[in-house]
Structure 1
Amino acid sequence: MSIRPPAVTVVGSINLDLIATAKRLPTAGETIGGAVLSEQPGGKGANQAAAAARLGGSARMIGAVGDDAHGQRMLDALAVAGVDTADVAVLPEPTGTALIVVDRDGENQVVVCPGANSHLWLDGVAFDPEETVLCQLEVGLTVVLEAARRHTGYFVLNAAPAMDLPAELLERCDLVIVNESEYALIPALASAKLVAVTYGRDGSAMFEHGRKAAEAPSAAVTVANTVGAGDAFCAALVLALRQGLEYARALAVANAVGGDAVGDHSSQPDLARLRYYLERTSVAEAAR
């Protein structure tokens, strides 16, 4: 097993998150007062790249921001996390923005305005066969397909938000990561070669061609914000698997990372190094 987590290149979205924290989520047509507004770096792609870097991996971001103050702020945040941003395009379109309402239990509603994310292309971007490429679906499907075709190494898709996926893309994926709702909304995943599914408080499981191959429970945590938890899970699972951990252990490590993330109000939370979570899950497993 390698000492240092492998190189991960994330192809995906970079957003400014505008988060309103309220006692509860509004129903259709309802106005709720008394919320607290915050702004922070976000976007599924950027969140995953930041998590991979903070966990100790070598992380590179391929994405797009606007030529505006928000775009510079997103680039600065990625750099602080330790992410290589040399391949992030700065475009005339506005930086992507996510409008998020979070209730006191950490549940959320999200509306994404993609902005520059919709204009991302891979012109001039090269992929090393030794690196792991991680994509999501907050950028154009054509971009994800192009990345899958051009990268000859390990390719991972976080199939969120859920949509119909071309057979070519699914066949190319070495791993697909989804939550239970996305798994139900994408029937083709039942026959995919390897799919990790998260179940919130009920942990996570790994499926090979529709057959459950492993599972791991989640630890009890205090929920502050679930927005970045799935992204932290994705980064941790990829790093753990690429270091050679067996499925159940990799899931346990990713659950621990996601648990720490869900207890943080930030979409790009500070995280310990992956080695810490390896040791922590070893102790927890020995205690059972």
Structure 2
Amino acid sequence: MENKAVIITGASSGLGAEFAKQFAKRKFDIVLTARSENKLKELAQQLESSYGIKAYTVPLDLSQSGSAMKLYETVASLGVTADILINNAGFGLFGEFEETEMQKELDMIEVNITALTELTKYFGKDMVSRKSGKILNVASTAAFQPGPLMAVYYATKAYVLSLSEALANEWEGNGVKVAALCPGATETGFSSTAELSQSKLFQSGVMKADEVVEQAVNSLLETNKTVIIPGFKNKMLASSVRFMPRKMVPSIVRKVQERI
């Protein structure tokens, strides 16, 4: 009997690499994609030798137009059926909106929104046809409120959460589960890429990547949750926003976001 297979974007490090390890432990074959070919190959070899599964690598830059379709076509050419899709690729950018680099923000929208939407569409249609499959879109606790100093990033994650909740409802009767993972500050390469390491948010305590992913995978495989928020503090953060005056929320977020 063949193993089930999971497709993981942004798989070379951080949450993506941890997703790969935890699914490999559960005897899933893995398709890994990210920009760094060497890191992907190293991870694939480690997974195959440690867990006896098949690990395929597809080096791609999802900020480039057409890359999502290329991934979908490559998976098909490998003869792999995507039982689970983990849309993990994404990045952020810190700074005043008028000063941040436009191209970086356009690339962010391409990865965080456009590629995620395309992959959800391509693989999701196949899942609906088979009446079987699971999609986990990595959003963030940022999805629950606007985020001064990271305005575009927060907006992209609000989109991911909204899309995931809508599709969870649309596909509920088709045997396809869609969920959004909304982690808070986590020990990954995200904070350095987004230039956030010295922010109050990341200095106030972060979760470990393996803890976040373990909760996410268990919830995806064993529960019907649509919104997965790892950690008690993150759950409280996400829910407390609903009880605050809307105009006050951006000011509070900004204070948390500012560098120490």
Which of the five TM-score ranges fits, normalised by the shorter chain? 0.3 to 0.5
- Please, what TM-score do these two structures have when normalized by structure 2? 0.44
TM-score normalized by structure 1?
Answer: 0.41
From the two aligned structures, give the one with the greater helix fraction: 2
Q: Choose between structure 1 and 2: higher strand proportion.
A: 1
